[in-house]
Each structure stands twice: as structure tokens, then as C-alpha cells.
């Protein structure tokens, strides 16, 4: 568990708190003695993710779309903006709403931060680098994004959100921080939202063919959710404000074929592999340069892919057996310093 504790306890608004990452953040904050206000419209978030929190005295759920102005009574010390569908099929289902969420939603939350004098942490994404021509991706790289393609609602939406964040910071209106999150996985991923780790694991567990888009040689870096949450908390609390975006992700790089082979081995499935056409603008390579996070935050991921996958597979196996989401079934994997797993 994170060491993030502060006296006196803070009130922290987590927009998108019923989602995969947001719900883990809410857990950690509550366990560290803080009060949490979760604002979510349940577009992709799930009540099961926060059902164990609903009865807790310092947890409050506000069901609202962040595209609407947010009026809240009482103090708010921190705002974390995680509100936005993150998987391509989900954010492309209503691309205009995705752009609106990224832009208008972030604006509304920034205005709330100004009104409350709250510190603001933006969950940005490695997608701001687009299909990168620089490898690994350092924060100074300005990216290679197609602004008219089907991913643009998310990529450009998140880029504009960063623009807003840095303008509020430069204008001294709010203490804003920006995390660029790379692929993160773990328990509570939505098994049906089309992300690569959950897709492969569910297909393997259900003995269906594993689907790979393209030739599988494209690479990704996979960060386990507890590592990511720890990085977010460090960025939120570091003084002084770094005033620059910070990559958070695991620099271990795997091709999708390597990931599929690891999942096959670890689940013991005999599933075959089916290749499907690569979606438009799919990035070929992805790996964070985390020098800045290491230097500024003293942070680096600790959970090796194999250990994180063990916990994730166990979670999805429980789901598959029961047909329902197990409450509090988040398994904590062992941590070590290994970044790469031979497959
Ligand atoms: P998720 O889809 O599980 O969670 C997003 C949450 O935001 C959901 O609970 C959803 O209902 C809520 N939401 C969406 N639109 C909203 C709106 N207009 N108003 C209120 N709530 C809204 O996704 P996640 O993986 O937990 O991602 C959380 C954040 O982190 C996102 O902003 C995403 O862009 C960012 N991120 C995630 C990853 C990753 O690998 N998981 C990588 C990069 C960035």
C-alpha cells in the first residue's frame, strides 16, 4: 500500500473514480485516512468497482457528467481528473462526447480547483505522443498525432486538456500537475472494453482464439496498477510543483506477440492466435522514458509483468467462474525490481 498519508487528512475529489484506475486510487486514498468524493457518470465505470467503498464514512459518490459545471459544498483540497473512457472502442463509441469530456470536463474541473483553491492532477496519456517517431518517449517529445483520425477525439482531446492545465498553471490560477500515463493493467479492468491485456486474458481463460491486431510486432509497456497509483500520489504531493508533464509507466517493452505468448503460458491455454487488421493510427512502439519520474519523484515501477499478470489472471478467472465481479478480490502481487520477463 502507498505511504501517502497527510495530517490533517485531505478531501480529494476523484473524477472518474468508478473506473479501473480511479477506483484503485479511491481505495488507496481512503486507506490512507483521506476523504474521497468520487464524481462519475458511469459511462465506462462500474458500480462493482466501488461497491466496497459505498458504506465507508469518508466516501461520497456524486453521479454526474463532468461536462456539466460542478457545484459542490464544502472544502476540496485536491482534484484528480481521471474522467474519460480510456479504451479505443469505448472512447470512439461517442467521439464528440469524448472530446467534450477531455476539454469541457477538464475546464469545469479546473474552474472547480480555482474556486476551492485545490491542487489539480490531470491523468493525461502516452497517446499525446501519437504514433511516435522518437523512442523511447521523453516528455520533451511533442508527438506525432493525426488530428483527423478515429483516435483523435482522445489523443487531441487529451492534448488540449494538457494545454488548459498548463495555461491555468502559467496564469497562476491553480497548482496543476500532469501525469502522462502509459498502458496500465490489473484487476478491475473491464473484461469487455477491448484493451489488450484484458482481451488476451479473457480469451485465454475462455479457451477462445487470442486475437492480435496486425502482425503482433508492435510493442507496448505495461505498468501494474499499484505502481501507477503510487506514481500519481507522488506527483500530486511533490513540492515544488514540477511544472512539466511527467511520464508514468513501466519501461519494460514487449511485443504484443510476446505478451500473448506469456498469457498462453501462464493460463495453460491451448488457444490458437488469430491475426486481424491493424486499426488506423495504431502506434507501432510505446515505451516511456521515466528519467524525470525517477529524478523528481524517486519513483519507478516495482511489479514485474509476470507478477502483475498472475494477479490479473486470478482476478479474471474469479470473474469467469462466478459470472460476477468479486468484491475486494484485488490480489496484491509480489514486487521485485525485474523490468523484463523472458517469454
Ligand atoms: P476507465 O474507462 O475505466 O475509467 C474512466 C472513468 O471516467 C469511468 O469511471 C467513466 O465512467 C468516467 N467518465 C468518463 N467520461 C465521464 C464524464 N464525461 N463525466 C464523468 N465521468 C466520466 O479508464 P481508466 O483506465 O481507469 O482510465 C482513467 C484515466 O486514466 C483516463 O482519463 C485515461 O485517459 C487515463 N489513462 C489510462 C490509461 C490506462 O492504461 N488505463 C493509460 C493512459 C491514460
Which ligand 1 atom is nearest residue 45's CA?
Answer: 9
Query: Which residues pair with residue 247 across a beta bridge?
Result: 180
Prediction pTM value = 0.93
Residue in this structure with the C-alpha cell 470536463, named with its chain if needed: 105
Exposed / middle / buried, residue 75 (Cβ in 10 Å: 0-12, 13-18, 19+): exposed
| Lookup result for grid cell 469505448 | 90
**Residue 131 domain-assigned?**
yes
User: 4 lies in a domain?
Assistant: no
Phi/psi for 119 (5° steps) reads -75, 145
pLDDT at 329 over 80: no
Q: Which domain holds residue 283?
A: 9-322
The answer to whether residue 74 is domain-embedded is yes
What gap in Å lies between CA 132 and CA 81, rounded to an integer?
25
What spacing in Å lies between the alpha carbon of 333 and ligand 1's midpoint? 23
Does the residue 182 lie in any domain? Answer: yes
Residue 336 is assigned to a structural domain of this protein = no
Ligand 1 centre distance from Cα of residue 45 (Å): 8
SS3 assignment, position 254: strand
Residues 291-317 have pLDDT tens digits of 999 999 999 999 999 999 999 999 999
Residue 3 — very low, low, confident or very high, per pLDDT cuts 50/70/90?
low
Please indicate, yes or no, if residue 341 is contained in any of the structural domains: no
Average pLDDT, the chain: 92
What is the distance between the alpha carbons of residues 222 and 287, in angstroms, rounded to a whole number?
9
Does the annotation count 154 as an active-site position?
Answer: yes
Could you give the count of Cα atoms lying within 13 Å of 262 in the half-sphere of its Cβ? 22
- The rounded percent of the chain whose pLDDT value lies above 90 is 87
What is the model's pLDDT at position 323? 54
Could you tell me if residue 25 is inside a domain? yes
Average pLDDT over residues 34-47: 98
Domain count, the chain: 1
| CA atoms of 12 and 242, how far apart (whole Å) | 20
DSSP-based three-state secondary structure for 97: helix
Q: How far is CA 185 from CA 86, 209, 294, 309, in A?
A: 12, 21, 21, 8
Instruction: For ligand 1, atom 33, name the residue with the nearest CA.
Output: 86
CATH of the domain at 82: 3.40.50.720
Residue ranges lining ligand 1, Cβ < 6 Å:
16, 18-22, 40-45, 65-67, 82-86, 101, 105, 123, 125, 181, 183-184
Answer yes or no: is 50 within a domain. Answer: yes
Query: Active-site residue among 154, 168, 224, 315?
Result: 154
Residue 341 predicted with pLDDT over 60: no
Amino acid at each position: 500500500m502507498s505511504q501517502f498519508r497527510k495530517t490533517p487528512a485531505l478531501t480529494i475529489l476523484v473524477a472518474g473514480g468508478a473506473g479501473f484506475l480511479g477506483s484503485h486510487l479511491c481505495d488507496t486514498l481512503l486507506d490512507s485516512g483521506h476523504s474521497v468524493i468520487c464524481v462519475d457518470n458511469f459511462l465506462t465505470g462500474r458500480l462493482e468497482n466501488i461497491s466496497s467503498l459505498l458504506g465507508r464514512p469518508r466516501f461520497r459518490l456524486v453521479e454526474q457528467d463532468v461536462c456539466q459545471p460542478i457545484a459542490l459544498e464544502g472544502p476540496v483540497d485536491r482534484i484528480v481528473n481521471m474522467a474519460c473512457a480510456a479504451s479505443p472502442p469505448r472512447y470512439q463509441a461517442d467521439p464528440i462526447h469524448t472530446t467534450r469530456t477531455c476539454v469541457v470536463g477538464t475546464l469545469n474541473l479546473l474552474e472547480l480547483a480555482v474556486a476551492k483553491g485545490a491542487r489539480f492532477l490531470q491523468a493525461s496519456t502516452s497517446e499525446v505522443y501519437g504514433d511516435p517517431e522518437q523512442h523511447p518517449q521523453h516528455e520533451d517529445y511533442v508527438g506525432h498525432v493525426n488530428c483527423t483520425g478515429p483516435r483523435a477525439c482522445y489523443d487531441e482531446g487529451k492534448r488540449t486538456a494538457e494545454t488548459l492545465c498548463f495555461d491555468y498553471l502559467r496564469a497562476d490560477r491553480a497548482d496543476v500537475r500532469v501525469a502522462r500515463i502509459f498502458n496500465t493493467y490489473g484487476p478491475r479492468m473491464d473484461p469487455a472494453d477491448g484493451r489488450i491485456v484484458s482481451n488476451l486474458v479473457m480469451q485465454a481463460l475462455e479457451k477462445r482464439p487470442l486475437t492480435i491486431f496486425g502482425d503482433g510486432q508492435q510493442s507496448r509497456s505495461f505498468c501494474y496498477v499499484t505502481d501507477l497509483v503510487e506514481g500519481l500520489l507522488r506527483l500530486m504531493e511533490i513540492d515544488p510543483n514540477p511544472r512539466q508533464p511527467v511520464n508514468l509507466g513501466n519501461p519494460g517493452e514487449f511485443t504484443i506477440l510476446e505478451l500473448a505468448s506469456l498469457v498462453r503460458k501462464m493460463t495453460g491455454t491451448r488457444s490458437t492466435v488469430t491475426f486481424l487488421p491493424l486499426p488506423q493510427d495504431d502506434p507501432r512502439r510505446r515505451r516511456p522514458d521515466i528519467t524525470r519520474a525517477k529524478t523528481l519523484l524517486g519513483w519507478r515501477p516495482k511489479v514485474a509483468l509476470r507478477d502483475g499478470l498472475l494477479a490479473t489472471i486470478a482476478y479474471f478467472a474469479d470473474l469467469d467462474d462466478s459470472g460476477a465481479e468479486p468484491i475486494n478480490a484485488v490480489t496484491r502481487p509480489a514486487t521485485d525490481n525485474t523490468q523484463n520477463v523472458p517469454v
